[in-house]
Amino acid sequence: MKLIRNAKALILGQLKEVDVLFDETIRRIVPRGTEISGIDEPVEIIDASGKTLLPGLVDVHVHLREPGHAHKETIKTGTKAAAAGGFTTIFAMPNVLPFPSTPEVMKNYQARIENDSLVHTYPYGTITINESGKEIVDYAAMKKLGIEWFSDDGVGVADDEVMKKAMISAKENDVLFACHTEDMKYRRPQASVHESAFAKEHGWIGIPSACEYAQLARDLDLVREIGSRYHACHISAKESVELIAQAKMHGCDVSGEVTAHHLLLEAEDVQGTNWKMNPPLRSHEDRMALIEGLEQGKLDFIASDHAPHTAAEKERPMDQAPFGIVSLETSFVLLYTEFVHKQKRWSLAQLVDWMSATPARRFGLDGIGEIRIGMNADLFLADLDNEYTIHAQQFESMGKNTPFDGMKVHAAICQTFINGQSVWKGNEE
């Protein structure tokens, strides 16, 4: 049993001066300094003066790399990075080796996660066998293992008939697709950044926005026809925002996520391979459409697309380096700094909702996303007045590939709790 004293806690959208008692669940919430009675077991008191207690964050788009690419990240290091970023629940993308495309492989993957994960980790199954885009997975068999979410992240399902067959089966089995849309006929070999005059000036081959939104339009037409549940990953283009908004207006069961880096950076910010991600950073107009789309409910919540790579891989030339950046440890603090502290455009409560309760609801998770009695004690303490500089070499993640190295932020994650147990604690300065 633990008692957090002297923190401000986010309760029903407001910061309240309360003390919070919890074991695996939140047991009591009382005015600050209230004596706790009637407890028959020892209580560990945590003095959180100057800190803010927040519900654990939920990230539905994380690449843990293991198995198959453990030289980039392991389940243990990736989930430690999640805890260091305030995330208590993550969803692991299935582009690992072997691909979790069958119940046998998935069982082994689940066992590995159960053994090594520091936070709640839910694995995706693939939409097609080995993400080949040819043969669909047996969703009914996977659902018996508790797998209700499927993605071929990293590639789009190119064949229209295969995607239609997959969506029909998904509808029959009531599972959710989380789709990376990318029509490769729009992408030239060695393309690395958004197609723009800036890219041409630097000799980089560009990726047009149609590469994302053309396949998204195809998918959403199928959703209208079939009635399946659909989630669009890492939206980057203004056209994609409007396609999702139109699908919602037609009553489709669709949602869309946006990453921290697409909310914060744009094409002309690119300085090298640590700014190379897929989809790429796009124009200022696109970035503003993402921000406004999130605020207007056209997009639904924020995800990280945490994608660790080795330093050697990212030291390759721009057209040869892999796509992706690490972001679990920086997403909340960067977004808080820019949109809550600096611009005062968003409230703390709104940011936390986009990173916690809303993704939890969309992905069918109960008992998390709020601080109230009976909810899971998945929580984190933050110091929202701690100004410091991000140092990638201090990350818990094995990946150091971030464009935000050296950036000053105005928030720090201090301690993270899973089921009432402390799983990560930062260095107190």
* Cα(359)–Cα(255) distance, integer angstroms: 10
- Exposed, middle or buried by CB within 10 Å (0-12, 13-18, 19+), for 171? middle
* Cα(58)–Cα(352) distance, integer angstroms: 10
253 domain residue, yes or no: yes
- Exposed, middle or buried by CB within 10 Å (0-12, 13-18, 19+), for 213? buried
Answer yes or no: do 34 and 90 share one domain: no
Answer yes or no: do 356 and 406 share one domain: no
Domain assignment of residue 164, given as a range: 56-362
Residue with the two structure tokens 């720090």? 412
Q: Verify cis geometry, omega within 30 degrees of 0, for the bond prior to 189.
A: no
Look up the CATH number of the domain holding residue 190.
3.20.20.140
Neighbours of 77 (CB within 10 A): 22
Answer yes or no: do 41 and 112 share one domain: no
398 domain residue, yes or no: yes
Q: Verify cis geometry, omega within 30 degrees of 0, for the bond prior to 98.
A: yes
Answer yes or no: do 112 and 46 share one domain: no
Answer yes or no: do 236 and 277 share one domain: yes
Mean pLDDT of each 10-residue bin along the chain, 429 residues long = 97 96 97 88 95 98 97 98 98 98 98 98 98 97 98 94 98 98 93 96 97 98 98 98 98 98 98 98 98 98 98 97 98 98 98 98 96 97 96 98 98 98 84
Amino acid letter at 114?
A: E
Answer yes or no: do 44 and 64 share one domain: no
Answer yes or no: do 349 and 419 share one domain: no
34 domain residue, yes or no: yes
Answer yes or no: do 78 and 14 share one domain: no
Reading the block at residue 329, the tokens are: 């440890």
When divided into structural domains, the chain yields a total of 2
Reading the block at residue 261, the tokens are: 């880096």
Boundary (domain end) residue, out of 334, 362, 390: 362
Answer yes or no: do 312 and 293 share one domain: yes
Look up the CATH number of the domain holding residue 32.
2.30.40.10
213 domain residue, yes or no: yes
Answer yes or no: do 157 and 23 share one domain: no
pLDDT of residue 428: 55
Answer yes or no: do 287 and 403 share one domain: no
369 domain residue, yes or no: no
pLDDT of residue 47: 97
pLDDT of residue 277: 98
367 domain residue, yes or no: no
Phi/psi for 9 (5° steps) reads -115, 140
2-5 and 14-22: which strand pairing? antiparallel
273 domain residue, yes or no: yes
Please state the three-class secondary structure of the chain as a single string.
CEEEECCEEEECCEEEEEEEEECCEEEEEEECCCCCCCCCCCCEEEECCCCEEEECEEEEEECCCCCCCCCCCCHHHHHHHHHHCCEEEEEECCCCCCCCCCHHHHHHHHHHHHHHCCCEEEECECCEHHHCCCCECCHHHHHCCCCCEECCCCCCCCCHHHHHHHHHHHHHHCCEEEECCCCHHHCCCCCCEECCHHHHHCCCCEECCHHHHHHHHHHHHHHHHHCCEEEECCCCCHHHHHHHHHHHHCCCCEEEEEEHHHHHCCHHHCCCHHHCCCCCCCCHHHHHHHHHHHHHCCCCEEECCECCCCHHHHCCCCCCCCCCCCCCCCHHHHHHHHHHHHCCCCCHHHHHHHHCHHHHHHCCCCCCCCCCCCCECCEEEEECCCCEECCHHHCCCCCCCCCCCCCEECCEEEEEEECCEEEEECCCC
Amino acid letter at 59?
A: D
Answer yes or no: do 136 and 263 share one domain: yes
370 domain residue, yes or no: no
Catalytic machinery residues: 305
